[in-house]
Amino acid sequence: MKVKNMAAGALLLLSAGMYSCKNESQFSVSGTIKNPGKLKGIYLIEADSSGLKVVDSTSLGENGKFEFKHVALYPNLFKLKVGSTGPQGGEMQGENLYDFIAKNGDDIEFTTDNNDPKHDYTIKGSDDSDKIKEFNRISNTYGDKNAKLFAEYQEKAHGERNDSLLKIYMPVFLKNVNDGAQAVLKFVNDNKKSLAGFYAATTLDPTKYEAQLIQFADDIRGDFKDNPTVQKFIAQMDKIKPISIGHKAPEFTVTGIDGKPIKLTDYKGKYVMIDFWASWCQPCRMENPNVVKQYNAFKGKGFNILGISLDKGKPEWQKAIDDDKLTWAHGSDLNGFEGPTEALYHIEAIPSNFIIDPQGNIVAKNITGADLEAFLNKTFK
């Protein structure tokens, strides 16, 4: 009797093992789109270091059911995209996107209702997908606030630019943006061991939150080693770390608009803002009146500016200097983003600026508008 019970127990364990075995060489996603209406196709999209790409597609079956089986070379972010065309159709209309994280061995179950205006969904079998949903709720909350704010502004302004209304709405808009970023930062710091935290971090403005992103890259350096998107991010942060706040500004020599060389060492012992801009850059030209205002207010207190233009021709460069009344020193490699000074400072977008203190340390980066005025007031009080 005892032997018989032991045999029965072993058989039960073997049976349980057979039914619980997973295919560790791929993951599966099966689900249902309730009330699909005219929706016919569903697409599996994978994130990689270059963006998003469709890796599989299928037609919705009876009652909106579907299934995918896919090999994940590493745990990664995926999206389901539902559209009104079939898998071989052209551009999709009225599509919805649903995020999840998957790795080989996952058996994921997905459900959503096409009639739900919020496009909410449930997902089971994926460790970090609930965290992605949490991040999306944060992002959508602040996105919806600003969408509503913009709609109110457009209605009151009748579709035209209205500076009086902008003075009312812009501070509220910027506060929402800042509050949203702070909420994302908290989520990132609370989820450093999750890919959801990483993908949340990549939505932050890299110019405004550079220091936090560099720190985050250091914090996750030993994690996600097989994910090339994460490793590319860490490499990028390592690349810009030497020109981040608190580091020595790299030395350079640039040709002045008068043909004479200008060296960063010419400003040793002084505060100087290196201002990367170009005549063709509209955001730069829009910021120039503020830079002129701050220069005139603080030059007597020790504030200097060296403009570095990304123009490729001297005439348009000189005309912009004259038109915008930029009375400080100017230099250029006349080679756009490919110039040696631009490469040294890793300039990938303009306007960009670096404020360097008398000891040659970078003390601020990419501050414009009211932020520039506040920094200068604090520095030269």
Q: Which neighbouring-strand residues pair with 308?
A: 276, 331
Residue 353 shares a structural domain with residue 233: no
SS (H, E, C) the chain: CHHHHHHHHHHHHHHHHHHHCCCCCCEEEEEEEECCCCCCEEEEEEEECCEEEEEEEEECCHHHEEEEEECCCCCEEEEEEEECCCCCCCCCCCCEEEEEEECCCCEEEEEEECCCCCCCEEEECCCCHHHHHHHHHHHHHHHHHHHHHHHHHHHHHCCCCCHHHHHHHHHHHHHHHHHHHHHHHHHHHHCCCCHHHHHHHCCCCCCCCHHHHHHHHHHCCCCCCCCHHHHHHHHHHHHHHHHCCCCECCCCEEEECCCCEEEHHHHCCCEEEEEEECCCCHHHHHHHHHHHHHHHHHHHHCEEEEEEECCCCHHHHHHHHHHHCCCCEEEECCCHHHCHHHHHCCCCCCCEEEEECCCCEEEEECCCHHHHHHHHHHHCC
- Of the three residues 214, 243, 272, the one that is the final residue of a domain is 243
Domain boundaries, position 55: 27-126
> Considering the domain boundaries, does residue 299 fall inside one?
yes
Average pLDDT on 85-90 reads: 43
Residue 174 shares a structural domain with residue 102: no
> Considering the domain boundaries, does residue 15 fall inside one?
no
pLDDT for the residue numbered 366? 93
Distance (Å, rounded) from C-alpha 277 to C-alpha 236? 22
Please determine, for residue 218, whether its predicted confidence score (pLDDT) is greater than 70.
Answer: yes
> Considering the domain boundaries, does residue 164 fall inside one?
yes
Residue 227 shares a structural domain with residue 253: no
pLDDT for the residue numbered 117? 87
- Of the three residues 243, 261, 289, the one that is the final residue of a domain is 243
Domain count, the chain: 3
Distance (Å, rounded) from C-alpha 333 to C-alpha 310? 7
Distance (Å, rounded) from C-alpha 94 to C-alpha 62? 20
SS (H, E, C) 284-341: HHHHHHHHHHHHHHHHHHCEEEEEEECCCCHHHHHHHHHHHCCCCEEEECCCHHHCHH
Residue 284 shares a structural domain with residue 229: no
Q: CB of 274 within 8 A of CB of 244? A: no
CATH no. for residue 295? 3.40.30.10
Average pLDDT on 202-206 reads: 92
Distance (Å, rounded) from C-alpha 377 to C-alpha 364? 13
Residue 74 shares a structural domain with residue 166: no
Residue 282 shares a structural domain with residue 214: no
> Considering the domain boundaries, does residue 68 fall inside one?
yes
Residue 225 shares a structural domain with residue 273: no
Buried b / exposed e across 208-228, counting CB within 10 Å, b at 16+? bbbebbbebbeebeeebeebb
For residues 161 and 43, the model is more confident at 43
- Of the three residues 79, 95, 126, the one that is the final residue of a domain is 126
Give residue-wise pLDDT tens across range 227-264. 999 999 999 999 999 999 999 999 999 999 999 999 99
Residue 149 shares a structural domain with residue 214: yes
Please determine, for residue 9, whether its predicted confidence score (pLDDT) is greater than 90.
Answer: no
Residue 141 shares a structural domain with residue 239: yes
Residue 239 shares a structural domain with residue 254: no
Residue 222 shares a structural domain with residue 255: no
Give residue-wise pLDDT tens across range 319-375. 999 999 999 999 999 999 999 999 999 999 999 999 999 999 999 999 999 999 999
Give residue-wise pLDDT tens across range 109-157. 999 999 988 888 999 998 788 899 999 999 999 999 999 999 999 999 8
Residue 193 shares a structural domain with residue 214: yes
Give the tokens for residue 173. Answer: 């808009």
Q: CB of 213 within 8 A of CB of 200? A: no
Give residue-wise pLDDT tens across range 34-67. 998 888 899 999 988 778 899 999 999 988 999 9
> Considering the domain boundaries, does residue 10 fall inside one?
no
Give residue-wise pLDDT tens across range 14-39. 344 444 455 689 999 999 999 988 88
Instruction: Work out the pLDDT band at 172, boundaries 50, 70, 90.
Output: very high
Give the tokens for residue 182. Answer: 């702070």
